[in-house]
Chain A
Amino acid sequence: MSSVSLLILGDGRFPSGGHAHSGGAEAAIAAGRVHDTATLEDFCRGRLATTGLVAASLAAAAATGYDPLLLDAAADARTPSPALRRVARKLGRQLMRAVRTTWPDPELDRLAAALPAGAHQPIVMGLAARAAGLTPHDAARAAAYDSVSGPVTAAIRLLGLDPFEATAVTARLTGDMENVAGEAAGHAARLPADGVDALPAASAPLLDITAEQHAAWPVRLFAS
């Protein structure tokens, strides 16, 4: 196992399609709720504590080797917005394509064959971490970071934010991301005893509602 593998998996340039998604930031910016680095930080903290925690827990769970099909159903149940379920599967399929070449592994091949339309992205991320020799806790770190880095990158493009200040937002959330990853790893550790009920079901209703609205916009820069 190497920490460098975690850097590769978390790299914003990892070619898995994330660059076309804003994680809800485009809708929040259009509504005026995110307009500077302070409001971006609030947005990211909220996203991290809700869908970020769920994603990190699913990633950690998949990295333990737990049945990914059960986890995928659990992810569906924790994603009320149909638009976000579609996005999660689309991104999962794109990530699957990238990691099968990056860290070839029969477990990845089996999941790709079982769910050709894509598994939820955090589950693929967890399996990718496993294939790369990383721990469930690391998988949760990657998912937590992913839940913040997407909106930050999108906000730089949409608002013309100072990229240094925007990156400082990510840095200020490091402690929050570590806490979420630790909590997620704890949930995943209870899977053998409690099954998927061990996984949190935090949600952000506004993200769900605006994701549905955003999916119907005739003109937008980001796919979600």
Chain B
Amino acid sequence: MHLHHTDPALTDIIPPTAPRPGGRSGPLRIGLGGPVGAGKTATVAALCRRLRDTLSIAVVTNDIYTREDAEALLRQAVLPPERITAVETGACPHTAIRDDISANLEAVEDLQERIGDLDLVLIESGGDNLTATFSKGLIDHQIFLIDVAGGDDIPRKGGPGVTTADLLVINKTDLAPHVGADLSAMERDARAARGSLPVVLTCLKDQHGIEPVADWVCRRLADLTAARS
């Protein structure tokens, strides 16, 4: 575990899962958004490796150029190929996760039909800008990822992704000394911008680097199970 990451147990004070739109049934859907290079695909891959033995998982990628991210996941063999689907976004990745979610909904439903008993669907957005957020019609919770090398002023600049995502991940903490980024300022600014919403710092290169994100995902699943029982 990385020295800098924050124990999610202390900060994770999201209220119990809000009612799902339209009383939706089926697997928990978590969206992962963030700028290009923040580590979205690496996070999805690490989550799959960490959780695939205990949960039935599928992934939808939203690629800017056709199937790039889906193929990266296939190459890494994090899940069997039938559990990974790519959605094409017509040069407009944020439209496909927010304004017109129809292609993503189809992809999720096709996976549900194909696999059957899914627990969790991870929907990865195409690399986009700081204003990209997911529609509640598509996902239950969203994770926004930024990385240390993208500039330590991003948490201060804010934007809907940083301020409103259910979990903010500041990734690549190992790069901080190399790019002159002030990690503590990033974390402080992020917390100031987000109020009670959780922030975790991760270094996916570490052996257990994904743990704080995996913990958070498991808590959301537990919330959903509790809400349904």
Using a CB–CB cutoff of 8 Å, the interface residues on chain A facing chain B are 13, 15-22, 90, 93-95, 97-98, 154, 157-158, 217-223
Contacts and interface: CB of A to CB of B under 8 A. Distances in A.
Given A17-B103, A20-B87, A154-B90, 18 more contacts: A13-B99, A13-B100, A16-B102, A17-B102, A18-B100, A19-B96, A20-B89, A20-B90, A20-B92, A21-B90, A97-B106, A157-B92, A218-B66, A219-B66, A220-B88, A222-B91, A223-B88, A223-B90
A94 B65 contact: no
Nearest to B62: A20
Contacts of B89: 20
15 contacts: A15-B99, A16-B102, A17-B106, A19-B92, A19-B95, A20-B87, A90-B106, A93-B106, A94-B106, A154-B90, A158-B91, A217-B66, A218-B66, A221-B91, A223-B90
Category for how many chain B residues contact A: 10 to 19
A20 B62 CA distance: 11
Given A17-B100, A20-B96, A221 B106 contact: no
A18 B95 CA distance: 11
Interface in B77-102: 87-92, 95-96, 99-102
B65 A20 contact: no
A167 to B, nearest CB: 17
B154 interface: no
A94 B95 CA distance: 14
Contacts of A154: 90-91
Q: List 10 A-B pairs, minimum CB-CB distance, nearest first.
A: A20-B90, A94-B102, A223-B88, A15-B100, A17-B102, A221-B91, A157-B91, A222-B90, A17-B103, A219-B65
A83 to B, nearest CB: 13
A95 B105 CA distance: 12
Contacts of B91: 154, 157-158, 221-222
B1 interface: no
A22 B92 CA distance: 12
A21 B96 CA distance: 12
Nearest to A16: B102
B102 A221 contact: no
Given A217-B66, A220-B66, A22 B90 contact: yes
Contacts of B100: 13, 15-19
B103 A94 contact: yes
B176 interface: no
